[in-house]
Amino acid sequence: GAVVSQHPSRVICKSGTSVKIECRSLDFQATTMFWYRQFPKKSLMLMATSNEGSKATYEQGVEKDKFLINHASLTLSTLTVTSAHPEDSSFYICSAYLQAKEKLFFGSGTQLSVL
Amino acid sequence: SQQGEEDPQALSIQEGENATMNCSYKTSINNLQWYRQNSGRGLVHLILIRSNEREKHSGRLRVTLDTSKKSSSLLITASRAADTASYFCATDRGNSGYSTLTFGKGTMLLVSP
């Protein structure tokens, strides 16, 4: 089956630093990937849609300068949380859409803790 | 805002019992999907039901869809401790050329041995 790898699984950083999270589709090409944020015991909140070779589409209320998304290849999208603050602490999950199976395949998530 | 709303929010049962989770949504959909999430992990796709389907089975899973009531249910039969997880429904409006799913808030299922 299709596999999406997300790295790192956990990161702890100091306030003010930037953190990069990678999302890779390992055995299929994904022109579209999605980034979500999830708070404890809550649903997934779509942050942005990452499109290969073009700018990401951000959901309302998500700061594009704060959450930088780059989708430079058909198998890799990155999310950079810039100048992280404690309120950015959350579980971030990526997914890639496989058209042939009409399914989203999810990465295993990244737990970000900003001290 | 989240379209899908699952109920109950939490469900605790014994192994061997059946677990039923419900999902309601507000707008028209192309399909509805159910996902499972183990604590601290990503989501795993369980089953997809199209808007023109009423029921679908996959192993111990049974999903129903009632488009007139804008609701769906997920039944897990003969539950096992390993079924303990959060379950989310997600609606796909299917109008973007790719899938943009809207997730519900989920049902936390606890299956005790």
pLDDT for position A93: 96
Query: What pLDDT, in 10s, does the model give residues A1-45?
Result: 679 999 999 999 999 999 999 999 998 998 889 999 998 878 888
- Which chain B residue lies closest to A112 (C-alpha atoms)? B40
Query: What pLDDT, in 10s, does the model give residues B19-62?
Result: 999 999 998 888 899 999 998 888 999 999 999 999 999 999 99
- Which chain A residue lies closest to B36 (C-alpha atoms)? A106
Show the 3-state SS of chain B.
CCCCEEECCEEEEECCCCEEEEEECCCCCCEEEEEEECCCCCEEEEEEEECCCCEEEECCEEEEEECCCCEEEEEECCCCHHHCEEEEEEEECCCCCCCCEEECCCEEEEEEC
CB contact under 8 A, B45 and A42: no
Q: Does B34 touch chain A (CB under 8 A)?
A: no
Is B11's pLDDT higher than 70? yes
